[in-house]
Structure 1
Amino acid sequence: MSDMEIYRILGLAIAKRRNELGLTQADVAGRIDLTRASLANIETGRQKVLLHQVFKLANALEINSITDLVPASFQFAENSEPVQFEGSDVNDRERAQLEHFVRTLGSR
């Protein structure tokens, strides 16, 4: 699964939940300090989303866990490359914890 495929799947889940709640993109974007256009790009997988934004989205969409935005069938390939956290100021220990979290989530 490519990086952008992950963003597409996440975006679809965000859009689905937003529609279930009867919220507009502007409603949700206003709750998380993004523009409506940015949220539209996230929902279509054209824009990467930062981890803190995922948490804000989960809260705005009344989701108990960010893991609810990822399908149960999501899995990394056995030989996949290390998870990249671009533009992030995490140290090596934090990077290892994040990668473990993402890979564990991907194998559930």
Structure 2
Amino acid sequence: MADLDLYRIVGAGLAARRKELRLRQSEVADRIGLTRASLANIERGRQKVMLHQIYRLASALEVGSITDLVPSKYSFEQTSGPLAIEGSDVNETQRAQIEQYVRRTGGGRK
């Protein structure tokens, strides 16, 4: 799954839940401190949603947990070779430990 696909999936889930509750975008946007246009962009996957906004959305959309708003599995687009760990000053041993952890916990590639 590409990174942008994740935002589209989350956005579609948010929109579905909002519609299930029969709430307008403007009502939810007001509850979480965004403009209606920003919420519309989030629902379409065009705007990234921040972690604190996920918590506010969970409350506004009356879900029990933020995990109800995100896909249960996520895998990186890259399918082989070492994980790309950019912008880090980690040595090879640390890089191997990070890669092993990510793969073991299911955040890695399949």
TM-score surpassing 0.5? yes
Whether the 8 Å CA contact 1:67–1:105 is kept in 2: the answer is no
Q: How many residues are aligned here?
A: 90
Whether the 8 Å CA contact 1:7–1:42 is kept in 2: the answer is yes
Q: Is structure 2 residue 35 aligned with structure 1 residue 35?
A: yes
What SS class does the counterpart of residue 22 from structure 1 fall into?
coil
TM-score by structure 2 length? 0.69
In 2 relative to 1, CA 15–104 (structure 1 residues): closer, same or farther, beyond 3 Å?
Answer: farther
What SS class does the counterpart of residue 28 from structure 2 fall into?
helix
Q: 1:48 matched to which residue of 2? A: 48
Unaligned runs of 5+ in 1: 83-95
Partner deviation per Cα, 1:35-89 (whole Å, 9 max, x = no partner): 00000000000000100000000000001111111233x231476545xxxxxxx
In 2 relative to 1, CA 49–104 (structure 1 residues): closer, same or farther, beyond 3 Å?
Answer: farther
In 2 relative to 1, CA 81–44 (structure 1 residues): closer, same or farther, beyond 3 Å?
Answer: farther
Q: Which structure 2 residues correspond to residues 1-108 of structure 1 after superposition, within 5 A?
A: 1-72=1-72, 74-77=73-76, 81=84
- The amino acid of 1:66's aligned partner reads I
Whether the 8 Å CA contact 1:25–1:39 is kept in 2: the answer is yes
TM-score by structure 1 length? 0.71
Aligned-residue Cα RMSD (Å) equals 2.8
Question: Which of 1 and 2 has greater Rg?
Answer: 2
Query: How far is 1:2 from its partner?
Result: 1.2
Structure 2 CA distance for aligned equivalents of residues 105 and 39 of structure 1: 30
Q: Which runs of 4+ in 1 moved over 3 A?
A: 77-82, 103-107
